[in-house]
Amino acid sequence: MRVRRDERGLTLVEVLVAIVILGIIIVPLGNALIGFIRNTDDTTRRLSESHDAQIMVAYFAQDVQSVGVRDWTADGFPLKQSIFPDVAYNGSPYPCGAADTPKAVVRFAWDDLGTAYVNRVSYVVRTVGAERQLHRIMCTKSSTSDTVLAHNVDGDPVLSCSGPTGDCSTAPAVPQRVTLKVTIKASGGQQPLTVTLDGQRRQT
């Protein structure tokens, strides 16, 4: 009886064809995967920047709304200077922060109604490691808090005011509107993100 030869298996030509087809499929799939990872990194970074921007906008608007220290000893209780640009931690009539606190880009002050204390908030750029961060230091009668508002700050924030004088530091007028422009670095060669914080004083 003659034994039949087993012909199962692949020829060299079939193997080469399979390799070529796999190469054709894998290259675009690999490119798509790399693009997806890059897009995910960009999306994560943009979300982080957006989160920082939302926090900055909310705090800044709230602080500017509150600005206003009154002279309770004078008729009509006129406003005293309540905004202090480029001020040291122990500068102005209303110091805020520890001795190692850098100069504040701006400090806001307002009366803590019902007490003789004046609340203060300083916006400070602090270097932590290789990163420059925008901090909001809040000083009240009972506590001091330090909140990081933005990471990867690029350059110095730019302060501007509008109102009777247009000057942030002129007393006794207190500006009606205050603006702070903060630029955040972008990774991967992207354009930096500039966030304009805008607040309007509520008190008249």
Distances (CA, A) of 113 to 79, 106, 143, 188: 14, 22, 16, 48
Residue 99 lies in a domain: yes
Is 19's pLDDT higher than 70? yes
Q: Is the residue at 64 inside a domain?
A: yes
Q: Does 8 fall in a domain? A: no
Top-confidence residue, 98 or 53: 98
- pLDDT at position 170 over 80: no
User: Is 194 inside a domain boundary?
Assistant: yes
- Longest Cα–Cα distance of the chain, Å, equals 126
Strand ordering across the sheet containing 193-200? 158-162, 177-184, 193-200
Q: Could you give the residue ranges of the DSSP H alpha helices within the chain?
A: 12-66
Number of domains in the chain: 1
pLDDT at 78: 87
Query: What confidence category does residue 52 fall into, taking pLDDT thresholds of 50, 70 and 90?
Result: confident
Q: Which of 34-38, 113-117, 180-184, 196-200 shows the lowest mean pLDDT across its residues?
A: 34-38
Is residue 103 over pLDDT 90? yes
User: Residue 182 falls within a domain, yes or no?
Assistant: yes
Gap between the Cα atoms of 82 and 79, Å rounded = 8
Question: What is the average pLDDT score of the chain?
Answer: 82
Q: For residue 63, give the nearest of 138, 115, 157 by alpha carbon.
A: 138
Query: What residue numbers bound the domain in which 48 lies?
Result: 38-200
pLDDT of residue 101: 92
pLDDT of residue 108: 94
Assign 53 to helix, strand or coil. Answer: helix
CB-based contacts of 44-52 (< 8 A; 24+ apart in sequence): 45/186, 45/187, 45/188, 45/190, 48/151, 49/184, 49/186, 49/193, 52/149, 52/150, 52/151, 52/184, 52/195
Q: How far apart are CA 122 and CA 180, in angstroms?
A: 13
Confidence band, pLDDT 50/70/90 cuts, at residue 169: confident
The residues near 180 (Cβ < 8 Å, ≥ 6 apart) are 60, 105, 106, 123, 157, 158, 159, 160, 196, 197
In a domain, 4, yes or no: no
